[in-house]
Amino acid sequence: MFYLKGIRIRQFHRNIILWYCLLMELPFLIGGIALILWEHARSPTNFLSIKNIILPLIIIVLGLVITILIYKRSESQNKFFARVKHRQLLARMIVDNKLYLTKTRLNNQKREKIIYFPKVYYQYKNQVITVRFPMDLQKNQDKFNHIGEQLEQALYGDLFEVRDEKGYKAYRLNTNTISKRIQIEDIHADNGKIELMNGYVWDYNKFPHALIAGVTGGGKTYFLQALLKAFLDLGADCYVCDPKMSDLSQLDQAPILKEKVFATSGQIGKCIREFYEAMVERQKEYQQKLTDSGEIGKDYRSFNMQPKVLFIDEYVAYLSNLEYKEQTKVLGQLKQIILLGRQLGFFLIAGMQRPDAKYFEDGMRDQFGLRVTLGQMSSSGYTMMFGENEKDYKVQPENIRGWGYASIGGADVRAFFAPFVSQDFSFLSYLKSLPVNAEKRGAGGDSGAGSGTDQRTAEADK
């Protein structure tokens, strides 16, 4: 089916800004020349006097100034001339790097004629740039297959998707990612999906578990709160572990999280163990229901089972403080939750400053469907989170909080802005306003997780 691929990049586009500026200057130039000719017709012997040519020169210079101002303003505001400049950059890339084929002609003098100029297309729609490069088995095809990082740098956009189309490799870049940021009040779960930004959706049933890494002050805790809000609004049974006893540890003041917030190492270890045991019990129940129904391919939703979510902030800090034997035990339980949790409705969301490999045994890190970094990370930090890639990681201004990069399901890494939290929004007050469903809380407490402050403290002391 025919579809508009965009504007084809031609050889003459390498100077297209100049042509547009000359076209804008042309009326002023014509007006100045016409005025000179009119003065000549009126006074043929004295038309070149300074008095007669100063006004035409003012008109021509004024036109030039207006043209430059229009160009600069349009480009800085990412309007018409910004796209024109993009086309010029693409054309110069092709010409200056000789990404075309020529044929030598031997007439009176040796000349080269371009016999193949690649069919590169540029498209701009809804603040998204799409550049299509031909996959036609010509000599430059391999370069076009690995040009994403150069496009990000040249077009100053965020590459968020590389798409294979018939005959083309399409690179899609966002030009204004921050405009897609949402408010924390707007984040919610709907039909197994959470919209993290406008148009950027995490299907947690398809890509379960989340790994959030962030530097101090990067907005990690706020993003964890946003995800917690989304799951609580859904009616999920949530448990919160905060070994540093910071903001998240205060959330047990909300009735909906009463006796479900853990801070000490003993309490957190007990919570993880009981969360794991609850999953094992559900697995038995799930297998029985599958046998009774005689069907396959179902998950926890098919049997109206309540999702359970375990939030662990400062995951690495917690594990690093455990003795080796206890650490191995906890890692084994977390590994099983990560591997088996999706089908049973058990999800893990872990926050940390740096995802060191030794705390993610046997490829655990690769099982996290959502990976997010917040704040400026080191190159090794980005590699730990997203693996080797050609992403051009940019730095945002210091006054912008909650920015970083994200990947869902191992897809291309893209710029990310966590839901914005205004100063007027109190997360604790919001949680206190949520109704407590006794039936759901009872269903979530079958394993005994969060069965009472006094009890878990006593267990921890033991």
Between 137 and 371, the higher pLDDT residue: 371
Backbone angles phi, psi at 429, to 5 degrees: -65, -40
Question: Which pLDDT band holds residue 292 (cuts at 50, 70, 90)?
Answer: confident
What kind of fold does domain 190-461 have according to CATH?
Answer: Rossmann fold (3.40.50)
Say how many C-beta atoms besides its own lie within 10 A of residue 118's C-beta: 17
Residue 134, Ramachandran bin (φ over 0: left; ψ between -120 and 50: alpha; else beta): beta
State the DSSP code for 402. S
For the chain, which residues make up each domain, given as ranges? Answer: 190-461
Place of tokens 């800085």: 76
Identify the H or E element spanning 74: helix 50-76
Give the model confidence (pLDDT) of 123-137 as tens digits.
Answer: 998 889 999 999 988
- Compute the distance between CA of residue 410 and CA of residue 234 in angstroms, rounded to an integer: 25
* C-alpha separations of 67 from 25, 32, 86, 87, 121 in Å: 6, 15, 19, 19, 27
Residue 1 has pLDDT above 50, yes or no: no
Number of residues written out for the chain: 462
- Compute the distance between CA of residue 462 and CA of residue 449 in angstroms, rounded to an integer: 17
Q: Give me the sign of the Cα torsion angle 317, 323, 328, 332.
A: negative
Average pLDDT of every residue of the chain:
84
Q: Give me the sign of the Cα torsion angle 149, 155, 158, 160.
A: negative
Between 444 and 22, the higher pLDDT residue: 22
Would you state the structure tokens that stand for residue 351, as one six-digit string? Answer: 């926050």
Task: Write the burial class of residue 329 (CB in 10 Å: 0-12 exposed, 13-18 middle, 19+ buried).
Answer: middle
pLDDT of residue 330: 92
Residue 74 has pLDDT above 70, yes or no: yes
- Compute the distance between CA of residue 100 and CA of residue 119 in angstroms, rounded to an integer: 10
State the DSSP code for 118. -
Q: Which residues pair with 121 in a beta bridge?
A: 8, 132
CA angle 442, 335, 377 (to 5 degrees): 105
Q: Mean pLDDT highest for which of 37-41, 151-155, 233-237, 345-349?
A: 345-349
pTM for the whole thing? Answer: 0.79
- Compute the distance between CA of residue 161 and CA of residue 171 in angstroms, rounded to an integer: 6
Would you state the structure tokens that stand for residue 186, as one six-digit string? Answer: 């707007």
Backbone angles phi, psi at 445, to 5 degrees: -105, 15
Would you state the structure tokens that stand for residue 349, as one six-digit string? Answer: 């969301």
Give the model confidence (pLDDT) of 79-124 as tens digits.
Answer: 899 999 999 999 998 888 888 787 776 666 667 777 788 999 999 9
Residue 2 CA, chain-centre distance (Å), reads: 30
3-state class of 116 per DSSP? strand
* C-alpha separations of 114 from 9, 10, 105, 117, 133 in Å: 15, 12, 11, 7, 18
- Compute the distance between CA of residue 355 and CA of residue 123 in angstroms, rounded to an integer: 38
Residue 156 has pLDDT above 90, yes or no: no
Question: Which pLDDT band holds residue 458 (cuts at 50, 70, 90)?
Answer: very low
pLDDT of residue 457: 38
Q: Where are the beta strands (DSSP E) in 38-165?
A: 101-106, 110-116, 121-125, 128-134, 158-165
Give the model confidence (pLDDT) of 230-272 as tens digits.
Answer: 999 988 999 999 888 777 888 888 899 989 999 899 999 999 9
Would you state the structure tokens that stand for residue 245, as one six-digit string? Answer: 């006893």
Q: Where are the beta strands (DSSP E) in 244-402?
A: 261-262, 308-312, 346-352, 370-374
Mean per-residue pLDDT, 358-368: 79
State the DSSP code for 252. G
- Compute the distance between CA of residue 374 and CA of residue 218 in angstroms, rounded to an integer: 5
Give the model confidence (pLDDT) of 164-203 as tens digits.
Answer: 988 899 999 998 888 899 999 999 888 889 999 998 999 9
